Structure 1
């Protein structure tokens, strides 16, 4: 896991990125504009997805330790712009309030409980920072005005994705492999894939040679692991098939 961000910093980032998300939505020509990075979604669909997610994770955090999550609210968000933005702002505040009330160490259900990221309110806050960050990029792309991501947040986003989405005790179904991720800003990560699962770690000088590596800015790496950029958009070295296998892999735990 990367250097641990303070819980208060994560809550501030959720709030800041949510404000940027609302601004991007408000600047778009229409709620019906397609979101090219989320095929078959309109901007309205994106807002509903993110707002519903904020409300669901608020309920998860409030419930505390549980063997299963609460049911998602299936209600439709309002379709008029001002009402939709207000609904999203309320959704975001529900999440922030639940996180503040819980505190960072409160356990709760998470879908990543078998991996590296903790199944706590802190883990949820970190995940939601990057969910909002990437969907803000999606909204800005739809509005035609993409803004640079904060470098330190993008760096943590790469580490968070490896800790949460690429961390599992499920056996890797291919030949053992190692992947190196190199950010131009000077941070690097290692992902080991073998019969014990997939495990991320900081990349040190004595690490085994990479089966494959990818190099780009922290923002490019974050968009790559989230599926917004492809291998053609970054510098790939080594066995490209390792990335293809990782992207297609759906581990069963």
Structure 2
């Protein structure tokens, strides 16, 4: 599947970081529990994202040939004082700006180690974009705010990337939870109901014995999840329930629930 242009990812990193920061400037309670990551407070979430941005910037800027410890990344520790929303917002914005500069300078084909085996800055531009999309939604939910719709091309690419990650994890961590995603003859269909004909925002996911496969398109499946694209994305990432308003499950709900339980990042 064709990815977005490198500059598009870079632009979206800046945009998503700004949306995330707006949650902090709105007076959100930094001690609030993140409902989708219940071991974290909102402040913990911000610091996690900022550290990830700083680590990525170091990898891309130095054209790293191997993994580097996150504590080597300049500025990764974040503000010294806890509970300072303004300082956190400023640090997050600066973290995003530094990684965008590094990504633009490297270009999509610039060498940069990654855990995926795809050692390019282009991999990191895509990964950071969707890290911010999903964790930005986490921040909004923690603050009791509604999640703003994500641009359709970005949301669709986020689903593509998640499917690629699950397939990768199933291959390299054969004893992990994703091993259970083998159900020959059964399939999952995702169907965005609010996009035009210029964007193919439907997916068919199949679960053969040799690992997950997927493709874009409208095809019958064992179970279908239908609704607005951003909501489909968030449900697929387990950020909102599949029976949230606007979403519809048709067919074998247990198969969809199996996917949501076993499809994991690591």
- TM over 0.5: same fold? yes
RMSD: 2.6
Summarize deviations over 1:183-215 as a string: whole Å, max 9, x none.
1124201222212211221125xx5x4122211
Q: Secondary structure of 2:99's partner?
A: helix
Assess, with a 3 A threshold, how the Cα gap between structure 1 residues 178 and 64 changes in structure 2: closer, same or farther. farther
* Higher deviation after alignment, 155-164 or 224-233: 155-164
- Aligned match for 1:181, one of 142, 167, 190: 190
Summarize deviations over 1:198-233 as a string: whole Å, max 9, x none.
1221125xx5x4122211111111101211112332
Q: Secondary structure of 1:41's partner?
A: strand
How much does 1:102 deviate? 1.2
* Higher deviation after alignment, 120-129 or 161-170: 161-170
2-structure distance, mates of 1:237, 1:188 = 15
How much does 1:243 deviate? 2.3
How much does 1:235 deviate? 1.5
How much does 1:50 deviate? 0.5
Corresponding residue number in structure 1 for 2:256: 243
1-structure distance, mates of 2:149, 2:251 = 28
After TM superposition, the score normalised by the length of structure 2 is 0.80
Alignment of 1:49-198 (within 5 A): 49-64=48-63, 66=65, 68-73=66-71, 76-78=77-79, 79=82, 80-113=84-117, 118-152=118-152, 153-167=154-168, 170=171, 172-173=179-180, 174-176=182-184, 177-186=186-195, 187-198=201-212
How much does 1:108 deviate? 2.9
**Unmatched runs of 5 consecutive residues or more in structure 1:** none
Q: Report the count of equivalent residues.
A: 244
After TM superposition, the score normalised by the length of structure 1 is 0.84
